[in-house]
Structure 1
């Protein structure tokens, strides 16, 4: 006769089976996952100082006294070797001040912390060189006569390129008629730039708008391709201006400052 569980023994059997399943689920819930959790990072006024040193130093040409601020923005993410578990991912998924990203997208250069740091420093240096060349080309100034030094501690990557470029232009010529590119405002933004003045996308813009608003910005310059992301968690009172090239960015800022002409919006 086949063996049958009695009605009294069945709950005990279920309980015995449930115990290892619960343990397995608990283990899975706290197992490391291939994600990073990012949040709004620091911002820095490229027209001012960072940790006691001027961000932009120019020699070989007269510079202007500027007003207002041009703030580059950052995000901070859990490290490549950080333990990110399912509860961390779920928490980040439902918070507007957090973003869950594939770890490979945040750290494409690998898992070695030293290699990542070296990669970020190299891309920052390349970004600074491109920013200087783009600014001097835009102003039709000879790079052999003017030396620009850019210094920003503890920040890596290329996403400050656009703001560096605008800062150099503001310090050398402003809006071209004696005014500031900022119009006295706190303007923040993000975007890569190449030597020809083309602005590129960077990622993390929804978090960067929050960092900008937190630090007093009322205007945010965003690569046009990332308008939708920037709008998704846009803080109240922060105006988005989409940008594609250095020339159009300067034109938008001048139009905003003078109150003439059209200023694009996302």
Structure 2
């Protein structure tokens, strides 16, 4: 074999190996793509997605769409070609694996976490919708999302109901904050919680972080709903970011007339509390792209996500920032009455914040 022939063979082999590596070998990145959108005012096999029992309900011919993001699963990676196409795609994002997942994350653990977040999101959204409509909803504080690596991690479980902390009876979230903030860092604090109908006494040792005494739990509530509202979604959808659209859909379903007047509205945003405050979410650009592809005319953006939303490409779809459920309802109503009506914009939000 001549040197020329050998050189060609080696080059071909290197090319083949490179192609295989680019298409098969996993890279430590996570790719985010637009996921499915679900019209919450639609039916699922003859059943309304927002199903109400014990209270009058009303249909709306328009659309209120929740949006999702599809992401690479934990303990896996993406090929170099997939990473490169994700970097080049306007609607996708690629991030280092360690920025997204922890060492203990698995597909099962993340799905379990997402399912809990979804259940909590629905409860808060339904309660927020009822409170927004003037319906009384008694509520008690429960353990919310737990920060990995902080004292409550591995001790408390999300949805545990607080009974006592350090001997103090807990009746509100303010009680939780007061008792924990006054605790001595490094000294075990006894949490008495109700889990699966049983009371458990669990020691948790608070830690001092950034000048605050914390155990690493977020606010959450268990609600005593005056009537039942069920939200039916396709399998596999989880997380907290559909709370705003859940709440809007429940408000629309519980009130006469049509909030959308036939318009196609999409959006995202965590329902941060029962008072209707809208919280930030992840994957805003992918969700905007998914809504645009689904034919939405208006997209509701959490105010806290405006800095990312202005970089998205919504096409003809209008973007409107919202901070509360009340603002969101007003914006949808205004747009439904006149598609050319002046609405707030993320550019205005960012300009005001810079002043």
Q: Which residue of 2 aligns with 1:192?
A: 270
- 8 Å CA contact retained: 1:107, 1:116: no
Q: Which residue of 2 aligns with 1:132?
A: 126
Q: Which residue of 1 aligns with 2:248?
A: 166
Which structure 2 residues correspond to residues 89-108 of structure 1 after superposition, within 5 A? 89-107=83-101
Q: Which residue of 2 aligns with 1:83?
A: 77
SS of the residue corresponding to residue 310 of structure 2 reads helix
The separation in 2 between residues aligned to 1:147 and 1:109, in whole angstroms, is 39
SS of the residue corresponding to residue 232 of structure 1 reads coil
Q: Using a 3 Å threshold, how does the CA distance of structure 1 residues 96 and 251 change in structure 2: closer, same or farther?
A: same
How many residues end up aligned between the 2 structures?
A: 245
The separation in 2 between residues aligned to 1:67 and 1:146, in whole angstroms, is 24
The separation in 1 between residues aligned to 2:342 and 2:334, in whole angstroms, is 7
The separation in 2 between residues aligned to 1:219 and 1:248, in whole angstroms, is 14
Which structure 2 residues correspond to residues 1-266 of structure 1 after superposition, within 5 A? 26=18, 31-50=25-44, 53-107=47-101, 110-143=104-137, 144-154=225-235, 155-173=237-255, 178-193=256-271, 194-259=273-338, 262-266=342-346
* Deviation readout 1:16-68 (Å, 9 max, x if unpaired): xx99xx79x95986753332111111100111124664321111211112120
Question: Structure 1 length normalisation: TM-score?
Answer: 0.82
SS of the residue corresponding to residue 163 of structure 1 reads helix
83-92 or 180-189: bigger deviation: 83-92
Bigger helix share: 1
- 8 Å CA contact retained: 2:60, 2:261: no
- 8 Å CA contact retained: 1:110, 1:116: no
Bigger strand share: 2
Please report how far the alpha carbon of residue 242 of structure 1 lies from its aligned counterpart in structure 2 after TM superposition: 0.4
The separation in 2 between residues aligned to 1:79 and 1:232, in whole angstroms, is 26
The separation in 2 between residues aligned to 1:40 and 1:77, in whole angstroms, is 9
Please report how far the alpha carbon of residue 74 of structure 1 lies from its aligned counterpart in structure 2 after TM superposition: 0.7
The separation in 1 between residues aligned to 2:331 and 2:314, in whole angstroms, is 21
Q: Which residue of 2 aligns with 1:5?
A: none
The separation in 2 between residues aligned to 1:137 and 1:102, in whole angstroms, is 41
- 8 Å CA contact retained: 1:71, 1:187: yes
The separation in 1 between residues aligned to 2:44 and 2:99, in whole angstroms, is 28
Question: Structure 2 length normalisation: TM-score?
Answer: 0.62
88-97 or 186-195: bigger deviation: 88-97
Q: Using a 3 Å threshold, how does the CA distance of structure 1 residues 53 and 223 change in structure 2: closer, same or farther?
A: same
SS of the residue corresponding to residue 225 of structure 1 reads helix
Please report how far the alpha carbon of residue 179 of structure 1 lies from its aligned counterpart in structure 2 after TM superposition: 3.7
